[in-house]
Amino acid sequence: MEAPIHPRSIVILDFGGQYAHLIARRVRQCGAYSEILPPETSADRLKDAAGIILSGGPQSVYDAGSPKADPKILELGIPVLGLCYGLHWMTQALGGQVKGGNVKEYGKTRIIIENGGGALLQDCGDSCTVWMSHGDEAARLPDGFTLIASSETCKHAAFSDEDRRLFALQFHPEVTHSEHGFDMLRRFVALCDAAPWAIENYTGYVGEQVKQEVSNRKVFMLVSGGVDSTVAFTLLNQVLGKDRVQGLLVDTGLMRKNEVALIKNAFDHLGIDNLHVVDESETFFEKLKGVYEPEQKRKIIGDTFLDVQKRVSEEMDLRVEDGWMLGQGTIYPDTIETGGTKHADKIKTHHNRVDAIQQMIEKGLVIEPLKELYKDEVRALGEELGLPHDLVWRHPFPGPGLGVRILCAEQSSPLSWEQAVPNGAQLTDFIQSGVILPVKSVGVQGDGRTYRHAVAYFTDDLRQIHDVHVLATMVPNAVPTLNRVLLCIDPDKKPKKFTFTPGYLTRARADLLREADAIVDDEMRRAELYKEIWQFPVVLLPVGVQDGGQSIVLRPITSIDAMSADAKLLPDDVLRTINDRILAEVPGIDAVFLDLTNKPPGTIEWE
């Protein structure tokens, strides 16, 4: 039997647009609980919803097999809002007509408000700018509907039947490019008799859910050090009591400086003392000996993690037969297969959903108390539970930890400008003043991943720093053998060519990187830049300017979802302080670089 929906929630029926999660998050920001369900969800199941939003989607309602909702949802008497494809489906279902638009319209468009804008568009004045992305449009409105906005290229840009509380917008109010978009959603939510949503009230509700689901069993939870598992473990402890929960934290040797202590302290402060920490760093370094290929490193780290977890849980007698179930910190976007991702060719399998875990989920042996929450809500819940603000707002950190930030290479791969530049290409002297590194890093160019060289420029002249910033976009396009551009603000360090020392994933190198990473973290917080930056990988390279030297790359970026990213140019004084501190305090590091490459062409991590 299908699970009932949350009473009085606002349901987003996902027609496969990329925006379903964005709509759901916006609705929650308006103070109403939202959930995402497949478009074919029956009207019967939706009868307790407070409102329904029909998302956009990539198809045309005329395409064979295009998704359809149950038309009876339009007779439930609850407010319904159709967006883009949702508008087309609603128009067709109610007897109006949809046609292929004359013009495919993408981007910002001015709409003129008609007939006062009805309940949803009343904040927009006479006109406003909205985000359009469509081919089809409504050619004839269904009976009972009134036009509330039109644009130059789309006559029926918005229409509504205010008596039946049915609304249709051709554009996307959920994206921030739509002026007053949030107001429109807020107005819609206000019409729905939705259960109020605030994380403070959720704590009690989720506590009851956890008690019911766990019943008289006990929960074993792997705590990674990341925000989600830390919050989930805290919640389980507070709801079930520490006698019925056991945590395990595996120290892989690839964690950040003081990370284990930070987490342990936060738990101690809350009276949580049932986290068992095992130092397995030696096991990890042993398995990684002599390995330098990035994907192989990832696989070894992942496999070793599972082995250690299995071994330790057996040693601790945490068996299903004895009433133990597994706890996971999975969050909402990882549990919902949205229409947008359902048909995508290859989306990475989330590690919380691998086969073995999936089978356990089906047998009811897994509890995921955060599975209804978005990341920002998990963080707010963490604070609500008493975890420190700085702990729950840490930057995302990759599963393999520092393992993917210690660049490994067995041999140098030198590349001269003559070899780098394709026949006859003319590059300026300034471009060719850069020194090419004798190691490669991963990038993403065109449709695939690349493995190419980086070029470094040495200058502390502000004007030239600006030029290097510009080159970061230009050079990887102009020179197909290069995918990254670096800046070093110590011009006197410029070598004729870099030195190289074979480098693997060793404890000594992890310790060096930990020190550099801690300096960066410290300076970011001191300069109050931590929140402005989405992620800040610090990378260790087996490359230096003197024999045996190594170097550090700073990779601050801003991003929304890690799919693309912008390199962040740090303020001069902050860059200078970090540069000088790393050179002075981290032994064996003889150069510091700032990576100025966007994604694409560079990836966020170097491996």
For the bound state, the minimum distance from the C-beta of residue 404 to ligand XMP, rounded and expressed in Å, comes to: 6
Which residue, 425 or 563, has its beta carbon nearer to ligand XMP?
563
Is 84 among the residues known to form the active site?
A: yes
For the bound state, the minimum distance from the C-beta of residue 563 to ligand XMP, rounded and expressed in Å, comes to: 8
Residue of 6, 30, 84, 154 with catalytic role: 84
By CB under 6 A, the residues from 445 to 464 that bind ligand XMP are none
Which residue, 5 or 404, has its beta carbon nearer to ligand XMP?
404
For the bound state, the minimum distance from the C-beta of residue 399 to ligand XMP, rounded and expressed in Å, comes to: 3
The answer to whether the beta carbons of residues 127 and 110 sit under 8 Å apart is: yes
Token pair in block for residue 169: 């917008």
Out of 204, 396, 422, 548, the residue judged to bind ligand XMP by CB under 6 A:
396
For the bound state, the minimum distance from the C-beta of residue 452 to ligand XMP, rounded and expressed in Å, comes to: 14
For the bound state, the minimum distance from the C-beta of residue 249 to ligand XMP, rounded and expressed in Å, comes to: 17
Instruction: Give dist(CA 575, CA 181) in Å, integer.
Output: 38
Which residue, 382 or 403, has its beta carbon nearer to ligand XMP?
403
Interface characters, 69-108, with ligand XMP (x: CB under 6 A): ----------------------------------------
Instruction: Give dist(CA 374, CA 26) in Å, integer.
Output: 11
Which residue, 99 or 395, has its beta carbon nearer to ligand XMP?
395
Which residue, 179 or 605, has its beta carbon nearer to ligand XMP?
605
For the bound state, the minimum distance from the C-beta of residue 326 to ligand XMP, rounded and expressed in Å, comes to: 19
By CB under 6 A, the residues from 266 to 325 that bind ligand XMP are 298
Nearest 5°: CA angle at 364, between 362 and 365?
110
Interface characters, 523-542, with ligand XMP (x: CB under 6 A): ------------x-------
Is 174 among the residues known to form the active site?
A: yes
For 317: left if phi > 0, alpha if psi spans -120 to 50, otherwise beta; the answer is left
Question: Could you check whether the bond before residue 600 is cis, i.e. omega within 30 degrees of 0?
Answer: yes
Instruction: Give dist(CA 476, CA 485) in Å, integer.
Output: 8
Residue of 134, 156, 172, 180 with catalytic role: 172
By CB under 6 A, the residues from 559 to 578 that bind ligand XMP are 562
Which residue, 184 or 604, has its beta carbon nearer to ligand XMP?
604
Task: List the one residue out of 322, 306, 428 whose CA is nearest residue 365.
Answer: 322
Selected range binding ligand XMP among 216-224, 318-326, 397-405, 490-498, rule: CB under 6 A: 397-405
Residue by residue, DSSP assigns 276-335 as EEEE-HHHHHHHTTT---HHHHHHHHHHHHHHHHHHHHHHTT--GGGTEEEE----HHHH
Selected range binding ligand XMP among 181-189, 365-373, 395-403, 546-554, rule: CB under 6 A: 395-403
Selected range binding ligand XMP among 109-117, 263-271, 466-474, 599-607, rule: CB under 6 A: 599-607
Residue by residue, DSSP assigns 563-574 as SSBEE-PPPHHH
Out of 38, 207, 323, 398, the residue judged to bind ligand XMP by CB under 6 A:
398
Task: Report the 10 Å Cβ neighbour count for 191.
Answer: 17
Please write down the long-range contacts of 291-296, taking CB distance under 8 Å and 24 or more positions apart: 291/408, 291/504, 291/505, 292/408, 292/409, 292/410, 292/503, 292/504, 292/505, 293/408, 294/404, 294/408, 294/442, 294/607
Instruction: Give dist(CA 509, CA 292) in Å, integer.
Output: 13
Task: Using CB atoms within 10 Å of the CB of residue 111, give its burial: 0 to 12 exposed, 13 to 18 middle, 19+ buried.
Answer: buried
Our finding on whether 371 is near ligand XMP (CB under 6 A) is: no
Interface characters, 404-423, with ligand XMP (x: CB under 6 A): x-------------------
Our finding on whether 399 is near ligand XMP (CB under 6 A) is: yes
Instruction: Give dist(CA 121, CA 114) in Å, integer.
Output: 9
For the bound state, the minimum distance from the C-beta of residue 536 to ligand XMP, rounded and expressed in Å, comes to: 10
Residue 142 per-residue DSSP state: P
Which residue, 307 or 315, has its beta carbon nearer to ligand XMP?
307
The answer to whether the beta carbons of residues 34 and 28 sit under 8 Å apart is: yes
Our finding on whether 604 is near ligand XMP (CB under 6 A) is: yes
Is 172 among the residues known to form the active site?
A: yes
Selected range binding ligand XMP among 186-194, 217-225, 258-266, 392-400, rule: CB under 6 A: 392-400
Which residue, 323 or 600, has its beta carbon nearer to ligand XMP?
600
Instruction: Give dist(CA 586, CA 578) in Å, integer.
Output: 11
For the bound state, the minimum distance from the C-beta of residue 258 to ligand XMP, rounded and expressed in Å, comes to: 20
Residue of 105, 137, 174, 179 with catalytic role: 174
Q: b or e along 529-558 (b: 16 or more beta carbons within 10 Å of the residue's beta carbon)?
A: bbeeebbbbbbbbbbbbeeebbbbbbbbbe
First-residue to last-residue Cα distance in the chain? 44
Residues that bind ligand XMP (CB under 6 A): 298, 396, 398-400, 404, 535, 562, 599, 603-605
Active-site residue list: 84, 172, 174
